[in-house]
Amino acid sequence: MTDTPLDIGVLGYRFMGKAHANAFARLPMFFEDAPEVNREVIVGRDEDALADAAERLGFERTATDWRDVVEEVDVFYNLGPNHVHAEPSIAALEAGTPTFCEKPLAPTLDDARAMADAASDAGVPAGVAFNYRFVPAIQYAKNLIDAGELGELHHFRGRYLQDWLVDPEAPWSWRNDAEMAGSGALGDLGAHTIDLARFLVGDISEVSGHLRTFVDERPVDGSDETKPVTVDDAYSAQVDFENGVMGTLEASRFANGRKNDHTIEIEGSKGSLRFSLERLNELELLREDSRGYETILVTDAEDPYVDHWWPPGHVIGWEHTFVHENYEFLSAVAEGGAYEPSFDDGLAVQRVLDAVERSDERGERVVVN
């Protein structure tokens, strides 16, 4: 473990910039053994917005070009839109700087491959932001599955539902553009579900996927123009896992009434479980010999990460997943250890995203490769 604080450089200062900056600030208060970090520099293009973000989020200085930053910091966080994931992350890794990148790893499979190659050549921690692995109830579920408590697994069902695009007048953003985002609900939301599927069950081998765009163009904020929507608004897929488990996946930005509902259900020969992000402190469990599901609160001191927070029953929230994720990633950086989910995990997810798109285009089941 290093004694000097790790200087952090962050590209991006909006939603994810805020979520990670909050985590950096919470770490020394709640995780005594976390490495000390210095919020050194925040990077973006709009100088006024940057100055405001630096002040609010506690960064020492700003920079308008990531090229000036990736070499000189101890850790680089790439929290920008998907189309700026590859080049700065690869440059940081080539400079030997541990790098953390938002999900999905890249807009395309080729970019994701190049990023994973750069990480493997660099030999420093390279993490991808699948924060839902760090929900205590998900870690609890993982421990149960690994201990064989659910028996032989048969089904995985994962769906991630939001509704922020159901209004056809909702403004166009980079998230609606194939060049910038890669895909829509598939990459933005499905990537999280596929990561949890891999984490809890294993690798996906075959996919039958379907994509749908409900609204083809959207108004540009502050003008009379519209721009085309070139990504999916929703996807669904039937999948097979390498270990024989059967799965269904779904995500939508048109699931009217669902704001941020990420639901996982797993059924095995001895037991089953259900998890919903909107009730993230709970896990519904069917145990061997019990007649039905019981709901357990995953807020006891011995539950993963919980002893760092509050007494039993004092629930935690979405933002805590970022604190746990950063604790693990920054500890790996300070100790020179490995971090998962890594860029290899990001690439594995990207292969499944690519397979869903290929399957939809061809109208046939495809192998993940």
Find the shortest distance in angstroms from Cβ 12 to ligand SOE: 12
Nearer to ligand SOE, 61 or 279 (CB): 279
Find the shortest distance in angstroms from Cβ 108 to ligand SOE: 18
Find the shortest distance in angstroms from Cβ 231 to ligand SOE: 13
Query: What is the Cα gyration radius of the chain?
Result: 20
Distance between CA atoms of residues 127 and 344, nearest Å: 9
Nearer to ligand SOE, 79 or 245 (CB): 79
User: H-type helices in 203-342, by residue range?
Assistant: 318-335
**Cβ-count burial of 87 within 10 angstroms (0-12 exposed, 13-18 middle, 19+ buried)?**
middle
Give the phi and the psi of residue 178 in degrees, each rounded to 5. Answer: -65, -40
Residue nearest to ligand SOE (CB): 188
Nearer to ligand SOE, 164 or 310 (CB): 164
Site for ligand SOE in 147-166 (CB under 6 A): 162
114 forms bridges with which residues in the sheet? none
Distance between CA atoms of residues 151 and 343, nearest Å: 30
Nearer to ligand SOE, 188 or 354 (CB): 188
Site for ligand SOE in 240-299 (CB under 6 A): 260
Q: In the chain, what is the greatest distance between 2 CA atoms, to the nearest angstrom?
A: 62
Nearer to ligand SOE, 256 or 369 (CB): 256
Q: Would you count residue 232 as binding ligand SOE (CB under 6 A)?
A: no
Residues in the interface with ligand SOE (CB under 6 A) total 3
Distance between CA atoms of residues 281 and 297, nearest Å: 6
Q: Which residues contact 3 (CB under 8 A, 6 or more apart)?
A: none
**Contact present, 38 and 6 (Cβ < 8 Å):** yes
Find the shortest distance in angstroms from Cβ 228 to ligand SOE: 20
Find the shortest distance in angstroms from Cβ 110 to ligand SOE: 22
Find the shortest distance in angstroms from Cβ 131 to ligand SOE: 7
Nearer to ligand SOE, 16 or 306 (CB): 16
Nearer to ligand SOE, 115 or 144 (CB): 115
User: H-type helices in 33-134, by residue range?
Assistant: 47-57, 86-94, 109-122
**Cβ-count burial of 253 within 10 angstroms (0-12 exposed, 13-18 middle, 19+ buried)?**
buried
Find the shortest distance in angstroms from Cβ 139 to ligand SOE: 17
Distance between CA atoms of residues 312 and 97, nearest Å: 39
Q: Would you count residue 233 as binding ligand SOE (CB under 6 A)?
A: no
Nearer to ligand SOE, 128 or 285 (CB): 128
Token duo for residue 232: 């999916």
Q: Would you count residue 188 as binding ligand SOE (CB under 6 A)?
A: yes
Distance between CA atoms of residues 110 and 121, nearest Å: 17
Find the shortest distance in angstroms from Cβ 260 to ligand SOE: 6
Distance between CA atoms of residues 360 and 146, nearest Å: 33
Q: Which chain residues interact with ligand SOE by CB under 6 A?
A: 162, 188, 260
